[in-house]
Chains A and B, each alone.
Chain A
Amino acid sequence: MDFTHCSLGAGVRLHLCETDKFNTVTCKLFVQQNLASETAAATALIPAILKRGSQKFPSTRQIARELEYLHAASFSADVLKIGERQLLEFYFDMIDPTLLPDGDENWKRGLATFWDIAFHPVTQDGAFVSEYFDQEKLNLRREVEGLINDKRGYALARAVELMCSEEPYGVYRYGSVPAIEALENGAEYRYYQELLATRPMDIFLVGRNLDLIANEIARLEFPRNGTAQLEPPVLREAAEERWHIEELPAQQSVLVLGYRTNLRYMGPGYYGLVVMNGILGGFPHSKLFVNVRERASLAYYIGSFVDGTKGILMVNGGVSAAKVEDAVRIIKEQVEAVQQGDITEEELELTKIGLCSSIASMADDPGSIIDRNLVGLVNGEMRSFDDVLGAIRSVTAEDVQRAAKALKLDTIYVLRGSLEKE
């Protein structure tokens, strides 16, 4: 379930995973950009506008009707944040042509539709249709303002924003409200053209008879004009431990602890970090889950995750406001335990088996087969299933302890719920 790679020239690469496991053919196209406060909002607006209409299907309604006709073909577009990159993501899937009576027509028409939406937006006076631009700008602003509706997501985003206020990583993937407000249609259209013409572009395909589709893609036109160099991630040492407390009318508080490790995908010790995160907070058997939730009943959810490009680890949990300090104390104790090498043979094995199972299971889902390569994509080195599984299996308790020693607590963020009842 790995990809074969080929170049279509001018910074465009095609990655193919031929398999007859699925009833669908899946295609994802990514365009990379630096994550920066100046451009994040402009990048984030592109998918929203493209969904509004292409030259052949100039409205969302016409696109939707075409996708329905194509036996539930689906198209979506969004932006992702991976390390200090922002990725434009275009997704398209369709039913495996061999399962449809009109399969041949279905895939050709589907691919042409996908291309039309991504590369040929409907325009007006050398810019996007102004009505679409204005509406999507408003919707994007509402999306960013609406982050508050999801307390956990909001708390995580705020914690990252405060922790990395002087690094690109602190920028939210959809940008900020003032940056969205400042967007202008003509400049936005030129920015879209520039991104698609110059930034690294990667096309992934998963499914059956991909040679046919790949040949068709190779015949399509790409509006390319050179390849821009992107910035590497910024590394920074942790400052003194900083507390930030904000209050919101909510029933429950959210606690986030941000650690810096500076261990990264391309450096030594990365898989030690991955396994260490699993032991600390990645599983129901992890130290945080067992000690904060099961033993102390302090939280309904508690866990941790790493951004392997940026080298940070975030712990987060839902707790009651009165128990925040108890929870912080227990979380620190768990981190110290791993740093002191308090790692049982069982914890290490369970975590490695758990990680390997979840990685191997990605081979059952076309989207995951592609997405598991994204960290490799932005870091310039995609790794095969076997290489990753082998690297995890070879991690030792000493590797885990070494990774834990790299943990430096930087920021503690509390979103305090003011409506809590005891």
Chain B
Amino acid sequence: MEKLKTPTGEDLLTGYLPNGLHYGILPKRGFVKKYAVLATKYGSLDSKFEVPGEGIVEVPDGIAHFLEHKLFEEPEGNVFDRFAQLGASVNAFTSYTQTAYLFSTVDYLSEALAQLVDFVTHPYLTEENVEKEKGIIVQELRMYEDHPDRRLHRNLLNALYHENHIRLDIGGTPESVNRITVDWLMKCYRTFYQPTNMALFVVGDVSPEGVLDVVQEHFPNGAAQPVGERVYPEEPPHINQAWVEDRLSISRPRCAVGFKNVPTSDGEESLRRYLTMGIAWRLIAARSSPHFERLYNAGLIDDSFGASFSTTPYYSYSVVTSQTDDPERFVEEIKAIVREVQGGPVPEADVERLKRQLYGGFIASFDSLEYTANSYIAHYFNGTPYLRYLSILQSITAQEVQEAAVNYLDLENSAVSVLLPTEGEGHGQG
């Protein structure tokens, strides 16, 4: 067990169990709630992989998310009830790169942790319960289809990417969901739900020894097993389509501009890229930016205006988005602003002020048990050095921010997604 320090001076204990499971434990005195996440590095992107004795298999899209739903199934009773009996609430989520199971509890950490490990390590899938789940998941997918920002983002990813499965909804499509079988689900489970591919994080007023005892008792033992190789489609560096449009029942058009980059598997490089781009985007899109002020006052954008940058070993892209009555002009303005930042010089004082903001934001983030746990796990799976966040931040220069804008906001590799109100639909109140 290794004892590390968080930036606010708290002890963070990390290590590996003999079966290969990675853990992090952050005791926080005085907190009422205990929060735990058990996650596997397996998400919607992992649909082609090696199965010992069978070679490479390709499974229907949406299967990681489907499996997440099904692990809540038990031969007797259900998982929700067991947690409810402990006053704990249990949930799960699936992303492009991971599936996470989590709970929070006030009084019964050991019992809830044992339940968490038990249900995640004991799948109970039958033809019948798999069929029943399809109806629920298809309803969930339809709900997302009506969600304007999800639709806008999905279309943008389709414009940016040719092959990468980031193009597809994490839950798959109604068609792919309907093709899922018990057999496919169990293949995925056996491949990816191995302790060497998983991580646990527990935070709250807890005793680290107590946590480890419970996990060791309940997690199936055995020697660490390697995980089969994953195969990702070859993704060309250039975009797929420069401009895509779609319609939905909304009050006002929405527009998103995306910039595609080649991802990096170097964790330190990835975190550095994340922080420099965080500053670059704030220079463009934060409320403190003169560009935001000008576009807002001109009525071209509203409070929905915002930008973000994602970087993992599997994809790397930026998005800037807003509701706007004039998507063409919005795109032209964004491109002009990007060119201006790329041309530099980026003001030192702005960068120093934004570093103060990111510094404070990182310290404040440790107040949220959920955020702390979820970011630790995401950083662990992506191989980024979480606890070096502040030291990397302090070393960033204005020059570097300008270079990042040049390198990662490539106008030749940008695409636009527009969502327009359904034709002939005028919506108002009442």
Contact = CB atoms under 8 A, between A and B. Distances in A.
B84 A283 contact: yes
Given A61-B293, A354-B84, A177 B360 contact: no
A28 interface: no
A300 B139 contact: yes
A229 interface: no
A21 B33 contact: no
Interface string B365-405: 01111000000000000000000000000000000000000
A38 interface: no
Nearest to B422: A249
A225 interface: no
Contact of B367 (A23, A60, A67): A23
Contacts of A139: 302-303
Given A61-B292, A146-B252, A149-B251, A357 B353 contact: no
A68 interface: yes
Given A131-B297, A139-B302, A251 B146 contact: yes
Contacts of A299: 139
B32 A72 contact: no
Contacts of A144: 429
Interface stretch (B55-63, B224-232, B281-289, B312-320): B281-289
A366 B31 CA distance: 12
A333 interface: no
Contacts of B106: 356-357, 360-361
A69 B356 contact: yes
A353 interface: yes
A284 interface: yes
B197 interface: no
Contacts of A24: 364, 367
Contacts of B323: 142, 146
Given A318-B143, A357-B107, A285 B80 contact: yes
Contacts of A248: 249
A361 B136 contact: no
A417 B145 CA distance: 12
A407 interface: no
Contacts of B428: 145, 177
A135 interface: yes
Contacts of A65: 288, 353
Interface string B237-267: 0000000000001111000000000000000
Nearest to A24: B364
Contacts of B89: 283-284, 354, 357-358
Interface string A213-256: 00000000000000000000000000000000000111110000
Given A61-B292, A354-B89, A149 B148 contact: yes
Interface in B77-96: 78, 80-81, 84-89
Given A177-B429, A285-B84, A360-B32, A68 B143 contact: no
B329 to A, nearest CB: 17
Contact of B85 (A19, A318, A350): A350
Nearest to B91: A284
Given A59-B293, A283-B84, A357-B87, A250 B146 contact: yes
B289 A61 contact: yes
B87 A356 contact: yes
A320 interface: yes
Chain B interface size, under 10 / 10 to 19 / 20 to 34 / 35 or more? 35 or more
Contacts of B363: 23, 71, 95, 99
B367 A22 contact: yes
Contact of A353 (B85, B287, B289): B85
A293 B425 CA distance: 32
A127 interface: no
Nearest to B107: A357
Interface in B40-80: 78, 80
A93 B364 CA distance: 10
Contact of B251 (A61, A146, A251): A146
B290 interface: yes
Nearest to B139: A300
A95 B139 contact: no
B401 to A, nearest CB: 15
B5 interface: no
A151 B146 CA distance: 8
A71 B359 contact: yes
Contacts of A285: 80-81, 84
A113 to B, nearest CB: 14
B427 interface: yes
B87 A354 contact: yes
A21 B303 contact: no
Contacts of A64: 286-288
B287 A250 contact: no
Interface string A72-83: 110000000000
Contacts of A294: 78
A209 interface: no
Given A64-B286, A297-B132, A72 B364 contact: yes
Nearest to A296: B135
B264 to A, nearest CB: 27
B288 A148 contact: no
A343 to B, nearest CB: 15
Interface in A174-227: 176-177
A252 B356 contact: no
A395 to B, nearest CB: 15
Given A149-B250, A251-B145, A357-B106, A72 B425 contact: no
Given A64-B287, A135-B297, A420-B142, 7 more contacts: A69-B357, A72-B360, A149-B148, A346-B85, A350-B85, A354-B89, A363-B32
Which 8 residue pairs are nearest across A and B when measured between Cβ atoms?
Answer: A71-B360, A72-B360, A64-B287, A64-B288, A353-B87, A357-B87, A68-B357, A284-B80
25 contacts: A23-B366, A23-B367, A24-B367, A60-B287, A70-B356, A71-B363, A99-B8, A145-B427, A145-B428, A149-B148, A176-B429, A177-B430, A252-B146, A284-B80, A294-B78, A297-B132, A320-B139, A356-B106, A357-B89, A357-B104, A357-B106, A360-B106, A361-B106, A364-B369, A417-B146
